[in-house]
C-alpha cells in the first residue's frame, strides 16, 4: 500500500508553483471558446484543510501559499489562482487549499470537462465528495499510468493532461516517460504538464535527458527552487515540463518567477528558470 498523502504537503512551494502554471495554461487555452478537457492522472483529495493535524504536522504551507496569501501585489497573471483560493474560504484566513481538481473546477467553463484519476482509496473518496457538485467531472479510482490511455484523445480534441505523481516508487521516474510517450502518440496536439521533484540535481536531470530522447517536440521546462539541491534529500524545488505550451507561456513564466522567488523567500543561490528542452 502506498503511503503518500498530499494532505501533508498541500499549499507548499511546489503546489504554489504548479498551480500558478496550471492556471496560466488553462486560461491560455480558454482564449478560444471551443470546449476543452482537463485530465489529472494523479488527482489527490481535491480539497485540503491547512488546519488539520496532517497539515499542521509538516506546516509546509507556511513556506508556501501562506507567504503569498496576504500579498497585495499578486501579478495579474495568477489572479484567477487567488480567486480560486478565496472561493474555497469564506473567512479572510486561508484554511482550505484547493488542489488541482478544485482549482480546475473553478477555472473551467460550463462546456469544459474534466477527468480525474486517483489511486488512494481514502483520497479518492474525499475527491468524490469535494466534487459532488461538479456535473462535468468524471472521477476514476485506479492507476493513472494504466487509465490515461482510455481518455486520450478526449472527444474535445483540446485540453490539458496534468501528470503529478508522488514518485514513491523509484520506477515512476521511468514510468512517466513511457506514459507521456504513449499519450503523445495517441494525442499529439494535447498540452501535457509533467511535475517532477528536485531532490538532487542528478535525478531531475535524468528525467529531462530521458524526455529529450523520446522524440517529442515543443517541450518547455520551468523550475522553481527554494534552496540549492542537497545530497541529503528533501524537496528543495520542483520542475514542470510542458509539452505544446500555449503561445507566450515562456514569457509569462519569466515574468512570474521573480515574484514567486521574492514572495516565497527563495535563497538567492537557488536556481530557477525557464528554457526550451526541445524548441518549437
Ligand atoms: C502529488 S499528489 C497529487 C496532487 C494534486 N495533483 C494537486 O495538485 O492537488 C499525488 C497523488 O497521486 C496519487 N497516486 C499515487 N500513485 C498513483 C497512481 N499510480 N495512479 C493514480 N494516482 C496515484 C497519490 O495517492 C496522491 O494523491
73 is catalytic: no
Q: What is the pLDDT of residue 232?
A: 73
Listed range (32-41, 122-131, 193-202, 228-237) with the worst mean pLDDT: 228-237
Any atom of ligand 1 within 6 Å of the Cβ of 145: yes
SS3 assignment, position 221? strand
* Cα–Cα distance, 99 to 166 (Å, whole number): 14
Q: Ligand 1, atom 8: nearest CA belongs to which residue?
A: 100
Q: Looking at the chain, list the stretches that DSSP marks H as alpha helix, in order from N- to C-terminal side.
A: 13-29, 53-58, 65-69, 79-87, 100-107, 121-130, 144-147, 172-186, 201-212, 249-263
Q: What is the pLDDT at residue 280?
A: 74
DSSP state of 7: G
Q: Each residue of 45-75: pLDDT tens digit?
A: 999 999 999 999 999 999 999 999 989 999 9
Of 114, 171, 106, which is closest to residue 145 (Cα–Cα)?
171
Average pLDDT, the chain: 96
User: Which of 157, 116, 161 lies closest to 134, judged by CA?
Assistant: 116
Cis omega before residue 153 (within 30°)?
A: yes
Percent of the chain with pLDDT over 70: 99
Cβ proximity of 236 and 198 under 8 Å: yes
> pTM above the 0.85 mark?
yes
Domains delineated in the chain: 6-278 (3.40.50.150)
With a cut of 90, say whether residue 200 has pLDDT above it. Answer: no
Predicted pLDDT of residue 234? 86
In 3-state terms, what secondary structure has residue 237? strand
pLDDT digits (tens, 9 = 90+) for 232-279: 778 999 999 999 999 999 999 999 999 999 999 999 999 899 999 998
Query: Which positions ≥6 away from 91 have C-beta within 8 Å?
Result: none
Extract the C-alpha cell encoding 87.
472561493
Nearest atom in ligand 1 to 41's CA: 21
Q: Residue 2: what pLDDT? A: 73
Task: Quote the pLDDT of residue 265.
Answer: 97
Q: Is pLDDT above 80 for 3?
A: yes
Banded pLDDT at 1 (limits 50, 70, 90) = low
Ligand 1: which of 119, 168, 170 to mutate, most ligand atoms within 8 Å of CB?
A: 119
Look at the alpha carbons of 250, 224, 18, 179 in this order and tell me if their dihedral is positive or negative: positive
CA dist list (Å): 175 to 23, 146, 221, 222, 270: 26, 10, 19, 21, 28
**Contact partners, residue 57, CB within 8 Å, separation at least 6:** 8
Confidence of residue 20 (pLDDT cuts 50, 70, 90): very high
pLDDT reported for residue 155: 97
Measured by CA distance, the residue closest to atom 27 of ligand 1 is 44
What is d(CA 18, CA 253) in angstroms, rounded to the nearest whole number?
11
Mean pLDDT computed over 121-146: 96
pLDDT digits (tens, 9 = 90+) for 211-240: 999 999 999 999 999 999 876 778 999 999
Alpha helices in 5-47 (DSSP H): 13-29
- Residue 271 class from Cβ within 10 Å (0-12 exposed, 13-18 middle, 19+ buried)? middle
- Residue 85 has a pLDDT of 97
Amino acid at each position: 500500500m502506498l503511503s503518500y498523502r498530499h494532505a501533508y504537503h498541500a499549499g507548499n512551494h511546489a503546489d504554489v508553483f504548479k498551480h500558478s502554471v496550471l492556471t496560466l495554461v488553462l486560461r491560455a487555452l480558454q482564449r478560444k471558446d471551443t470546449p476543452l478537457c482537463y485530465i489529472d492522472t494523479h488527482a489527490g483529495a481535491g480539497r485540503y484543510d491547512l488546519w488539520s493535524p496532517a497539515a499542521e504536522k509538516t506546516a509546509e504551507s507556511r513556506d508556501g501559499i501562506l507567504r503569498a496569501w496576504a500579498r497585495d501585489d499578486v501579478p495579474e497573471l495568477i489572479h484567477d489562482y487567488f480567486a480560486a483560493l478565496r472561493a474555497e474560504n469564506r473567512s479572510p484566513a486561508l484554511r482550505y487549499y484547493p488542489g488541482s481538481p478544485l482549482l480546475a473546477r473553478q477555472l473551467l467553463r460550463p462546456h469544459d470537462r474534466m477527468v480525474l484519476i486517483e489511486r488512494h482509496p481514502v483520497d479518492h473518496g474525499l475527491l468524490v465528495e469535494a466534487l459532488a457538485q461538479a456535473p462535468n467531472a468524471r472521477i476514476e479510482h485506479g492507476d493513472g499510468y494504466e487509465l490515461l490511455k482510455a481518455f486520450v484523445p478526449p472527444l474535445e480534441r483540446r485540453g490539458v493532461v496534468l501528470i503529478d505523481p508522488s514518485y514513491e516508487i523509484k520506477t515512476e521516474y521511468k514510468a512517466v516517460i513511457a506514459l507521456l510517450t504513449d499519450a503523445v502518440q495517441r494525442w499529439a496536439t494535447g498540452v501535457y504538464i509533467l511535475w517532477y521533484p528536485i531532490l538532487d540535481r542528478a535525478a531531475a536531470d535524468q528525467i529531462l535527458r530521458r524526455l529529450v530522447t523520446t522524440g517529442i517536440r515543443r517541450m518547455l521546462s520551468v523550475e522553481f527552487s527554494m534552496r540549492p539541491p542537497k545530497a541529503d534529500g528533501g524537496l528543495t524545488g520542483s520542475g514542470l515540463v510542458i509539452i505544446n505550451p500555449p503561445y507566450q507561456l515562456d514569457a509569462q513564466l519569466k515574468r512570474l518567477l521573480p515574484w514567486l522567488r521574492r514572495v516565497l523567500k527563495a535563497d538567492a543561490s537557488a536556481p530557477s528558470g525557464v528554457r526550451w528542452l526541445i524548441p518549437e
